[in-house]
Amino acid sequence: MTATVTYESNLRTTCLHLQSGSAIETDAPTDNKGKGERFSPTDLIATGLGACMITTMGIKAQTMDIALDGAKVEVTKIMVSDPRRIGKIIAHVTMPILNLDDKTKEILERVARTCPVERSLHPDIELDIAFNWL
């Protein structure tokens, strides 16, 4: 088992990662009867994409003796209706100054674009992924 999700009340859950014991709370978004005081479940999906992209880049970068410290992914989730679902995820990656050649940049970008979360998303979700190399 990976995690437990407990419904607390008022559209809020507590999610417990069993291996580490770390917890996060979710809340329904304000446009769907919630308070929007925590990540919503769909926020976690979009954020998970950004985290997976930068993590897989970090794994590859380690094998290439490159430190990605300070790399950042800005994530925007866009919902659509009928049925209500994630319609688009915008993930813009900003890399620290690394002075890498184009081939190395291409390798790291390809790794990010083939991360497990990206491969798990439904093909109807539009992805806008961009990389900014400083």
Global model pTM greater than 0.85: yes
Separation CA 3–CA 109 (nearest Å): 30
pLDDT per residue as tens digits for the range 81-134: 999 999 999 999 999 999 999 999 999 999 999 999 999 999 999 999 999 999
> How do 85-95 and 126-133 pair as beta strands?
parallel
- Do 47 and 21 fall within a single domain? no
Does 29 share its domain with 75?
no
Q: Are residues 113 and 89 in the same domain?
A: yes
**20 and 76 within one domain:** no
Domain that holds residue 24: 1-39
Which percentage of the chain shows pLDDT scores above 90? 100
Count of domains forming the chain: 2
Give dist(CA 64, CA 69) in Å, integer: 14
Place of tokens 């009340």: 9
Indicate if 30 and 44 belong to the same structural domain: no
> Which structure tokens are listed for 3?
């995690």
Please tell me whether residues 25 and 46 are part of one structural domain. Answer: no
Cβ–Cβ under 8 Å, residues 5 and 13:
yes
